[in-house]
């Protein structure tokens, strides 16, 4: 029996690479559902190639175009965010890959967990916004959450076979992005084109800007806290410009185990899909002769204030990480529209965190209200 997959965000960077993995291992996997936000033409092409049972476009204005283009095929065509949360509950689905961008991934992830589906998690914002809620639900419904982010997949792999030995520290690696060595005064005038030129990874626009500001690494720190049951104090950010070591785990005896490989997202995607087995891959092998030197350094928290805000948010707890995420989604969109400067993004995030209502023990409804409020505040601050 082939494993039935729902791929949320199939037209994004992770989603398209996930479909490449499916294509390479069509004897093992089959696509049951594909969802996208806006890219209707690519979704149409994917639907014709993989013939899923259902496709969903979140932007309801794009529904007529999608429906018409697929009317000759026996594919159900749905639209809207509620439809995405509904499709993940379909009984044939074995695993849901959550590769949607941002806060939008929270609702369908909750729906999938409650339906008992295994989660391949590429949407880190879900755990940033509501980590405690998600992990409690996963435990309640006995649902595995398999990390797809390269760093969290690396940690997951390092922990395999550790026989529950206590973790002393997680070393979360970061490339440092395109502005690792850029003088602070020059960051005032950097453009979105410069920020979108990541030195090692090919990613979507939003996550690439997050990497440039290093808030992405802050989000990954919060994600790691929830996934692996450690405190923020047990997570060290290590800037590793070559992106060969994807992350490390240090145990109580001082031994450090690292997971290494070429920067290729298809590797952690495939591992999540096939766990605990490893599938043969045609990905380029790591040639150590091409990397005679691997370097490491501490992140500059003054240059990358957003990373510092992430540590502040998780230490404060409650709905503060939700506030941080909402403000960041607003400022990144504004930066990509040339409405705000690179360093000004941090100013708006800081002020939003100060202004939004803090809730120590938020419910799901509180998270929804917090997201709305923080977006409003951040928008007014632009």
Q: What is the chain's pLDDT, residue by residue, as a tens digit (382 residues)? A: 899 999 999 999 999 999 999 999 999 999 999 999 999 999 999 999 999 999 999 999 999 999 999 999 999 999 999 999 999 999 999 999 999 988 889 999 999 999 999 999 999 999 999 999 999 999 999 999 999 999 999 999 999 988 889 999 999 999 998 899 888 889 999 998 998 887 776 677 888 999 999 999 999 999 999 999 999 999 999 999 999 999 999 999 999 999 999 989 999 999 999 999 999 988 889 999 999 999 999 999 988 999 999 999 999 999 999 999 999 999 999 999 999 999 999 999 999 999 999 999 999 999 999 999 999 999 999 9
pTM of the model: 0.93
Placement of tokens 């805000």 in the chain:
309
* Chain centre to alpha carbon of residue 24: 23
Other beta carbons less than 10 A from residue 26's beta carbon: 12
Q: How far is CA 202 from CA 119, 176, 209, 242, 265, in A?
A: 23, 15, 12, 14, 9
Q: What is the pLDDT of residue 162?
A: 84
- Measured CA to CA, the distance from residue 232 to residue 317 in angstroms comes to 11
CATH number corresponding to 3-147: 3.40.50.720
CA atoms 264, 266, 268, 269: torsion sign = positive
- Residue 96, H or E segment: strand 95-98
Which has the closest alpha carbon to 309: 232, 201, 200?
A: 232
Q: What is the pLDDT of residue 380?
A: 97
Q: What is the pLDDT of residue 201?
A: 66
Q: What is the pLDDT of residue 60?
A: 95
Q: What is the DSSP letter of 166?
A: P
- Measured CA to CA, the distance from residue 69 to residue 52 in angstroms comes to 14
- Measured CA to CA, the distance from residue 51 to residue 22 in angstroms comes to 12
Q: What is the pLDDT of residue 55?
A: 98
Pairing state between β 256-260 and 245-251: antiparallel
Q: What is the pLDDT of residue 204?
A: 79
- Measured CA to CA, the distance from residue 250 to residue 258 in angstroms comes to 9
Domain chopping of the chain, boundaries: 3-147, 152-304, 317-382
Q: What kind of fold does domain 317-382 have according to CATH? A: Rna Polymerase Sigma Factor; Chain: A (1.10.1740)
């Amino acid at each position: 029996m082939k494993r039935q997959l729902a791929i949320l965000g199939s037209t994004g960077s992770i989603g398209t690479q996930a479909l490449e993995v499916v294509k390479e291992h069509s004897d093992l996997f089959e696509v049951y559902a594909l969802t996208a936000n806006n890219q209707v033409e690519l979704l149409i092409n994917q639907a014709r190639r993989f013939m899923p049972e259902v496709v969903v476009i979140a932007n309801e204005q794009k529904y007529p175009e999608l429906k018409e283009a697929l009317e000759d095929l026996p594919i159900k065509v749905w639209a809207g965010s509620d439809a995405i949360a509904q499709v993940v509950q379909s009984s044939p689905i074995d695993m849901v890959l959550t590769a949607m961008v941002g806060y939008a991934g929270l609702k369908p992830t909750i729906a999938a967990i409650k339906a008992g589906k295994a989660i391949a998690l590429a949407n880190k914002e879900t755990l940033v916004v509501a980590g405690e809620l998600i992990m409690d639900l996963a435990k309640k419904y006995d649902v595995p959450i398999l990390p797809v982010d390269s760093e969290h997949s690396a940690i997951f792999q390092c922990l395999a076979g550790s026989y529950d030995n206590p973790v002393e520290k997680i070393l979360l690696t970061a490339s440092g992005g395109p502005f690792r060595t850029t003088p602070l005064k020059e960051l005032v005038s950097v453009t979105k084109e410069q920020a979108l030129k990541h030195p090692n990874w090919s990613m979507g626009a939003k996550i690439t800007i997050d990497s440039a500001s290093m808030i992405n690494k802050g989000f990954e720190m919060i994600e790691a806290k929830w996934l692996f049951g450690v405190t923020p104090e047990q997570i060290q950010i290590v800037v590793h410009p070559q992106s060969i070591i994807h992350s490390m785990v240090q145990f109580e005896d001082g031994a450090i185990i690292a997971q290494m490989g070429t920067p290729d997202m298809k590797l952690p995607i495939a591992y999540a899909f096939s766990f605990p087995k490893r599938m043969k891959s045609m990905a380029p092998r790591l040639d150590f002769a091409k990397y005679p030197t691997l370097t490491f350094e501490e992140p500059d928290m003054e240059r990358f204030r957003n990373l510092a805000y992430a540590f502040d948010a998780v230490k404060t707890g409650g709905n503060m990480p939700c506030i941080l995420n909402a403000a960041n989604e607003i400022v990144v969109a504004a930066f990509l529209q040339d409405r705000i400067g690179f360093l000004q993004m941090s100013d708006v995030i800081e002020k939003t965190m100060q202004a939004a209502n803090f809730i120590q023990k938020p419910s799901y409804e509180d998270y929804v209200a917090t997201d709305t409020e923080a977006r409003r505040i951040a928008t007014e601050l632009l």
